[in-house]
Structure 1
């Protein structure tokens, strides 16, 4: 059965999406089912409920801009050393205005390409936003800070952001990664590499940042749900969850402190 615009709006409203929220959405269009109007209809339903005072945010990351990510490693599987070197030499630099996201889904791409969208500048973990706080939330995303204090996640935390998981699990919840920066004074770090253009042409650039590890986040999410903070519902065929970002990040900080040993986390 096709999911109509009205059904989308009704399901999201019943879940608690509403006027004036600053909403970070992680979503799978295919999980919702066949939607009349596709991803654009979902984005329109969300923006309609948020109203003129609300801001919609979506992750628009480019994990393939890397020499160690699973996406990149799959791309070079079977290549010779010379072919890998040529492939990496030809990789384009990240451009916030034009580079498509990878693995973020059609709804996130619709946010990114919508008129008026503002995208943050990180070459691997960018976000895009629509609404009155778009500039404030997206500006000053430091190149050497994926999802920490100098990222849109920290700005969303400050303005009382709300998180919507629409047809996806807690392993896709980027807010939990903000807690990885905060749960200990010295979180484990590693070296990252990506292709950037600082005005002098594409080049490989490396930097140090916190290890991002989502292997235990399904367990973290299951424990977070026991707090009673999460609202549950259905949007089309998709399971949907809505919860305050601050509650999720603060819970995750305590959870990581109890369950993780920083020195033992693999990079």
Structure 2
């Protein structure tokens, strides 16, 4: 069993005390039961002054199909493929207190979002949520037109990206590196608070991000907790190194699927102006 003292030791070894941490976690990676589960990980970080941020995406719940007049080219979507509907489904606008989350994100983000003192971003499809002393300042910079503002803010505060038992394909901050390499973010569709459909920024395919391991790996501090490998990356440096690498070699992020439209359009620079 993984005890609180094991988590505390890892946090100390990785020098995370009093820092803002962007967390990506696989609870299964520990290979055994964690005493207290996901809450124990959050509490261990919070007790040492950390602010903890996770993705809290809701694209399945609040995404709508593209209106005919909101379909930019090179946007990772094939609008010619059937079926193409000109009818936008009736979906309620996103609210920060909706309590919903994409189940694919795992248990820990859902636990964080469910806490009374969690702060959640205003992006209807790709919100982030945080808890801890700097949570409001980090999350409040997010908007539908600035999806990765919280990552930028966390990096500016000397924050850390912590991968717990997962790989670079889960490292959401690498989408900000894509943006800084010169790519435009993809556009998707959601209802605004007034019910009108609008376009919002989202990320691309991340299945090719493990190819960045040779340049990102040396930046990480690592420790084992049970069978789970924890890797802590200085956010500002990791994003800068990844952005420079992508800018110099755009194809490096292409996923194993040679026909991936998301990768092809991202590498070409992203959406074109309508």
- For the aligned pair, the TM-score class normalised by the smaller chain equals 0.7 to 0.9
Say if 1:192 and 1:20 are closer, same or farther in 2 by CA, change over 3 A: same
Counterpart secondary structure, 2:145: coil
Check if 1:132 corresponds to 2:124: no
Counterpart secondary structure, 1:89: coil
Counterpart secondary structure, 1:34: coil
* 8 Å Cα contact 2:163/2:232 also seen in 1: yes
- 1:255 corresponds to which of 232, 245, 251: 245
Say if 1:85 and 1:37 are closer, same or farther in 2 by CA, change over 3 A: farther
2:70 is aligned to none
Give the RMSD, CA atoms, in angstroms.
2.7
- 1:213 corresponds to which of 205, 210, 215: 205
Check if 1:3 corresponds to 2:14: no
Give the superposition deviation at 1:18: 3.0
* 8 Å Cα contact 1:181/1:210 also seen in 2: no
After TM superposition, the runs of 4+ consecutive aligned structure 1 residues lying more than 4 A away are: none
Counterpart secondary structure, 2:125: coil
Say if 1:190 and 1:130 are closer, same or farther in 2 by CA, change over 3 A: closer
Q: Deviation string for 1:210-260 (max 9, x for gaps)? A: 7523232110134321xx221111123211101100110010111101211
Give the superposition deviation at 1:263: 5.9
1:157 is aligned to 155
CA distance in structure 2 between the partners assigned to 1:60 and 1:19 by the alignment: 23
TM-score (norm 1): 0.79
CA distance in structure 2 between the partners assigned to 1:153 and 1:253 by the alignment: 14
Gaps of 5+ in 1: 69-79
2:146 is aligned to 145
2:33 is aligned to 34
Question: What does 1:17-96 correspond to in 2, within 5 Å?
Answer: 17-32=15-30, 33-48=32-47, 50-51=48-49, 54-64=50-60, 65-67=62-64, 89-96=89-96
Check if 1:231 corresponds to 2:221: yes
CA distance in structure 1 between the partners assigned to 2:267 and 2:219 by the alignment: 31
Q: What is the count of residue pairs matched by the alignment? A: 238
TM-score (norm 2): 0.77
Give the superposition deviation at 1:203: 4.5
2:197 is aligned to 204
CA distance in structure 1 between the partners assigned to 2:33 and 2:248 by the alignment: 42
2:68 is aligned to none
CA distance in structure 2 between the partners assigned to 1:123 and 1:177 by the alignment: 17
CA distance in structure 2 between the partners assigned to 1:190 and 1:164 by the alignment: 25
